[in-house]
Amino acid sequence: MRVVIAEDSVLLREGLSAMLARFQVEVIAAVGDASALMSAVSEHRPDLVITDVRMPPGFTDEGLRAAVALRVVQPELPVVALSQYVQHSYAGELLASGSGRSIGYLLKDRVGDVAEFADQLRRVAGGGTVVDPEVVRQLMQRRRDPLGKLSPREREVLSLMAQGHSNAAAARILSLTEAGVAKHIGNVLTKLDLPISDDTNRRVLAVLAYLRSQSD
Amino acid sequence: MTDTALRATNRRGFLPPARPWRGLAYSATTGVASGVLWLMLSVPLTPVFSAAVVLSTRPTGAYLILAAVLGLVGIGLLSLLGPRIALSVARAERWRLRLLGRAVRPLGHGGHEPHDLTDAALWRAVAYLVLLGIIAPIWLGALAAIGLIVVSTPVSLEHWLSDADPLPGVIGRAVGGLSLIPVLLYLTAWFGAVHGELTRMLLEPEPSADLVEVARSRARLAHAFDAERVRIERDLHDIAQQRLVALTVQIGLARLDLPESSASAAAMSVAHDQARTLMTELRDLIRGISPRTLRELGLLAAVEELAAASSLNVRVDVTDGRFLPEVETIAYAAISEAVANTTKHACTTEVWITTQREGDRLLVEVRDGGNGGADPAHGSGLTGLADRAAAGGGRLLLSSPVGGPTVLRVELPCAS
């Protein structure tokens, strides 16, 4: 897997590069700002982009803007955005960009769990979508929405789905059978008025579309 | 406490404040104030009136001298007591303006006590005596006359019934009388409001140039503090947080190579956890110093984020749109403080956050479903906020009767 990293902190940029090397991920370019990211992507055609949300010159959301712009040109380009804090509208905007697949929105806290982080990168590069558990938790906490209709178990399942876990993985984490997970998912989709489909991606997309609507 | 003081309001409804009721209360007390004024004026006026009576009945000889003496005594008393009465009345009336929910700068802070006849403030206070002593009673009299019509309607109804008058006429009178009630209430409230406005114009002390400068300097100081907080936040974020993330990456990498059962693996695991906890705490700390979301996306986004992160059931009805940074900062700080207080002290999980723009003011209200009894004197959070609101030309009000609910309200000028 070939990745481009955009991160303005040199220390963190080096740390990330060193870490990814350990997991057989090839860092083809590591840059420090959004415009360098744009040119690096067009030059190297990476399999995955990892970008900090906040970068020079304005230190607001330059990385996010760049990611959204890149996905206008390349709707399938896998992007993982790293954020220092949870911002729903950023997550929503990213999820709405391009094809709506191959998106990761993670707190920087997750980077330290190196093996898990590498796994999340692979999931995004493989077309999956990974939303930080903290974002999911906060969205789940909003009681005014139809999520309130879900049972605690169904919430857990939905939360795992939103984090990009497969049925098998969810079953393992929750100590359930796969059939049990599938049943819960069916309930979730029914309760949320989402179309039932066998296609995993469409299902995850539907859930994310729902989460997206919550974060707007 | 000064004008920054926390004042209790006991409103049941939501914004805007119950102006009509305030107007009614103000009008009702105007009658009393006017009566007291005439009682005080009766001391110097009695000799003057006596002189007039003597002159008109027996304008001859010794009576002329008596009238002259009485007149001189009266005028002397009037010139001696008049200014004092005017100033006392002015003080009392400034205080009474609070009924209308208006904070008037106390003299000691916003102006000076007029001391000689060349002072315009004194003459405005005297002019106010005319308003309170003559114009207000005329108005109140007119209102009383309408009141009398309302009250007399049922009487006349009985009268007409006994006279076996045609029914439509009786009903017409009754309906007419009843429909005057809202008119009366409206006029009374309106009179109160207009009177209050005139009082404010005549009696509110003009800030001297020095005080304007002090107020500006206070605002500048608050602004400088805000700027400093932003700088600290930026430093913490760009330096401390990034280094911490890099540190957790290194620890994570080191752990990969350690045999799981080894003692150093256990120690590394603890170090990893501590670094992670520090990261969370640092993030919360930074958010407390200067919330980035507020600066970048505005009040609505920041409050929604606050609500999402809170363990309480927070309902948000916040005006979208941007305000000046200092206005947003104070509003957010107040909301955040109120939510934190509710979390800590009130036995409730329900919080309502509402903001609304009213003219050139931003009104912020945080109401909880708790048992009230909050005391702003304990803890400096609210008093500090009240000071900041005052520095920005606004004010902070707290109502927390025993039994609840606790309502925190902040009013900030937001002309933009």
CB contact under 8 A, A112 and B283: no
Residue in A22, A88, A109 closest to B276 by CB? A109
Phi, psi of B355 (to 5 degrees): -130, 155
Shared domain for A145 and A61, answered yes or no, is no
pLDDT at B47 over 80: yes
Q: Contact A86/B243, CB-based, under 8 Å? A: no
Given A131, A147, A162, the domain boundary residue is A131
Mean pLDDT of B243-251: 93
* Same-domain check for residues A112 and A152: no
- Together in a domain, A80 and A52: yes
A9, A93, A121: best mutation site toward chain B, by most B Cβ within 10 Å? A9
Q: What is the pLDDT of residue A30?
A: 95
Using DSSP bridges, classify how beta strands B407-413 and B395-399 pair: parallel, antiparallel or unpaired.
antiparallel
Could A11 and B246 be called an inter-chain contact, meaning their C-beta atoms sit closer than 8 Å? yes
Residue A16 pLDDT level (bands cut at 50, 70, 90): very high
Helix axes B19-57, B136-162, angle to 10 degrees: 100
User: How far apart, in Å, are the Cα atoms of B52 and each of B58, B62, B69, B70, B78?
Assistant: 10, 15, 11, 9, 15
Q: Out of A55-69, A121-135, B17-31, which region has the weakest mean confidence (pLDDT)? A: B17-31
Top residue of B245, B251, B316 to mutate, by most chain A CBs within 10 Å, is: B245
Q: Which CATH number belongs to the domain containing residue A101 in this structure? A: 3.40.50.2300
Instruction: Name the residue facing B243 among A11, A61, A109 (closest C-beta).
Output: A11
HEC assignment per residue over B181-206? HHHHHHHHHHHHHHHHHHHHHHHCCC
Residues A111, A91, single domain; the answer is: yes
The whole-number pLDDT of residue B2 equals 28
Last residue of a domain, which of A131, A150, A177?
A: A131
A62 touches chain B (CB under 8 A): no
Residue pair B399/B406 in contact by the 8 Å Cβ criterion = yes
ipTM value of the model? 0.74
What average pLDDT does the segment B169-185 reach? 78
Q: Is residue A93 domain-shared with residue A152, that is, in the same domain? A: no
3-state secondary structure of A83: strand
Q: Are residues A148 and A121 in the same domain?
A: no
Residue among B381, B395, B390 nearest B341 (CA): B381
Phi then psi dihedrals of residue A146, to 5 deg: -65, -15
Rounded average pLDDT over B48-62? 83
- B297 touches A at CB < 8 Å: yes
**Stretch B54-79: mean pLDDT, rounded?**
85
CA B373 to the chain's CA centroid: 20
**Domain stop point among A131, A164, A182:** A131
Query: Tens digits of per-residue pLDDT, A77-111?
Result: 999 999 988 777 777 788 778 777 888 999 998 99
Which residue, among B378, B315, B308, has the nearest Cα to B341 in the 3D structure? Answer: B378
> Do A105 and A194 belong together in one domain?
no
Instruction: Evaluate if residue B74 carries a pLDDT over 60.
Output: yes
For residue A212, pLDDT over 90 is answered with no
Angle between helices A10-22 and A114-125 (to 10 degrees): 80
How many angstroms separate the CA of residue B145 from the nearest CA in chain A? 54
What are the phi and psi torsion angles at A80 (to 5°)?
A: -115, 120
Name the pairing type of β-strands B395-399 and B361-368: unpaired
Q: Is A118 on the interface with B (CB under 8 A)?
A: no
Q: What are phi and psi of A178, to 5 degrees?
A: -60, -35
> What mean pLDDT do residues B89-101 have?
82
- The reply to whether residue B315 touches residue A142, judged by beta carbons under 8 angstroms, is no
Q: In what order do the strands lie in the sheet with B407-413?
A: B313-317, B350-358, B361-368, B407-413, B395-399
Contacts of B237 in chain A (CB under 8 A): 54, 84
Measured between beta carbons, which residues in chain A are less than 8 angstroms from residue B246?
9, 11-12, 14-15
Stretch (H or E) spanning B220: helix B209-235
CB burial of residue A87 (10 Å; 0-12, 13-18, 19+):
buried
What is the dihedral sign for C-alpha B127, B130, B135, B136? positive
Roughly how many angstroms between the first and final C-alpha of chain A, as a whole number?
33
Check if A87 contacts B (Cβ < 8 Å): yes
Domain count, chain A: 2
Q: What radius of gyration, in Å, describes the C-alpha atoms of chain A? A: 17
Q: B180 is written with which tokens?
A: 């005057």
Q: How far apart are the first and last CA of chain B?
A: 31
B111: pLDDT strictly greater than 50: no
**CA atoms within a 13 Å half-sphere pointing along the CA-CB vector of B275:** 25
User: Which residues of chain B make contact with A141, given a CB cutoff of 8 A?
Assistant: 308
Chain B residues inside the 8 Å CB shell of A138:
308-309
Question: Would the CB atoms of B256 and A22 count as touching at under 8 Å?
Answer: yes
Please name the member of A15, A114, A139 whose beta carbon is closest to the beta carbon of B246: A15
Query: How high is the pLDDT of residue A66?
Result: 94
Q: What is the CA radius of gyration of chain B?
A: 32
Residue A67 to residues A80, A108, B372: CA-CA distances in angstroms? 9, 17, 48
Whether residue B112 is predicted with pLDDT greater than 80 in this model: the reply is: no
Asked if residue A186 and residue A83 are part of one domain, the reply reads no
Contacts of B276 in chain A (CB under 8 A): 109, 112
Alpha helices in chain A (DSSP H): 10-22, 34-44, 62-73, 88-96, 114-125, 133-141, 152-162, 167-174, 178-191, 200-215
A59 contacts chain B (CB < 8 A) = yes
| Euclidean distance between CA atoms A124 and A128, whole angstroms | 5
d(CA B296, CA B279): 22
β-strand partners of B362 = B357, B412
pLDDT for the residue B81: 86
Q: Does B246 touch chain A (CB under 8 A)?
A: yes
Distance of CA A140 to the CA centre of its chain: 17
Measured between beta carbons, which residues in chain B are less than 8 angstroms from residue A139?
Answer: 308
Tens digit of each residue's pLDDT (9 = 90 or more) over A162-210: 777 778 888 898 888 888 888 888 777 777 665 544 555 555 555 665 5
Q: Which residues of A touch B272 (CB under 8 A)?
A: 112
Mean pLDDT of chain B: 80
- pLDDT confidence of residue B7: 33
- Residue B39: how many CB atoms within 10 A of its CB? 9
Distance between CA atoms of residues B302 and A87, nearest Å: 9
The per-residue pLDDT for range B35-45, each reduced to its tens digit, is: 998 898 888 88
Nearest chain A residue (CA) to B251: A112
Q: Sort out which chain A residues have CB atoms less than 8 A from B315's CB and list them.
A: 144
Q: Which domain holds residue A152?
A: 136-215
A10 and A117 housed in the same domain:
yes
| Domain formed by B299-413, architecture | 2-Layer Sandwich (3.30)
In the prediction, which pLDDT does B108 show? 41
CB contact under 8 A, A84 and B241: yes
Pick the residue of B238, B242, B281 with the most A CBs within 10 A to test the interface with A by mutation.
B242
pLDDT, tens digit (0-9, with 9 covering 90-100), for B281-326: 888 888 778 787 888 888 988 898 888 878 888 888 888 888 888 8
Q: Are the beta carbons of B305 and A142 separated by less than 8 Å?
A: no
Mean pLDDT of chain A: 83
Which tokens is A215 given? 């974060």
Q: Which two tokens stand for residue A19?
A: 């870490």
Whether residue A60 lies within 8 A of chain B, CB to CB, comes out as yes
CA distance A82 to chain B (A): 11
- Residue reference for tokens 């990761």: A104
Contact B200, B36 (CB under 8 A): no
Query: Which CA distances in Å does A35 have to A49, B125, B240?
Result: 14, 68, 25
Q: Which residue has the higher pLDDT, B116 or B270?
A: B270
A129 pLDDT above the threshold of 50: yes
Among candidates B251, B253, B305 on the partner chain, residue whose Cβ is nearest the Cβ of A22: B253
Q: How many CB pairs under 8 A join A and B?
A: 87
Distance from CA of A15 to the nearest CA of B (A): 6
pLDDT at B356 over 80: yes
Residue A36 has pLDDT above 60, yes or no: yes
> How far is residue B260's CA from residue A113's CA, in Å, rounded to a whole number?
15
Complete DSSP assignment for B246-282: HHHHHHHHHHHHS-TTSHHHHHHHHHHHHHHHHHHHH
